[in-house]
Amino acid sequence: MRVKGGSTTRQRRKVTKKRVEGAWGTKHTSYKIARQTLLRSSEYAYRDRKARKRDFRKLWNTRINAAVRALGYNYSTFINALSKAKIAINRKMLSELAIHHQEEFKMLVEKVMKK
């Protein structure tokens, strides 16, 4: 007996179309183009998860540099002095200190740069 797979195929295609629901034009209606859109968007998502980490690190470095320059030093000498003083604090936390707790950041910079 012949088994028709129409309902299974339709369900599978429906899932794919549901995942690209917000796409513009034919990209969310035509299955073939919807599948291509989904593949491409997955590539972008994977790539940009990596890029986001780079972007945030650049942002933190810029914030730290601005805060340290206001105190008369520069970023590279400050980071070097931190490593020589064996103070292990990541750039995200340094950035947060520089923005929200200026006095503590200033004390840290002065302590590190005197050594």
d(CA 87, CA 110): 13
**Which residues have CB under 8 Å from 109's CB, separation 6+?**
67, 68, 71, 73, 78
From residue 6, how far is each of 2, 10, 32, 77 by CA, in Å? 12, 6, 16, 67
Instruction: Please give the pLDDT value at position 64.
Output: 96
- State pLDDT tens for residues 5-57: 788 889 999 998 999 988 888 888 889 999 999 999 999 999 999 999 999 99
Q: Which residues contact 42 (CB under 8 A, 6 or more apart)?
A: none
Average pLDDT, the chain: 92
Question: Which pTM was predicted?
Answer: 0.74
Question: 3 falls in which pLDDT band (50, 70, 90)?
Answer: confident
Question: What does the pLDDT average to over 67-89?
Answer: 93
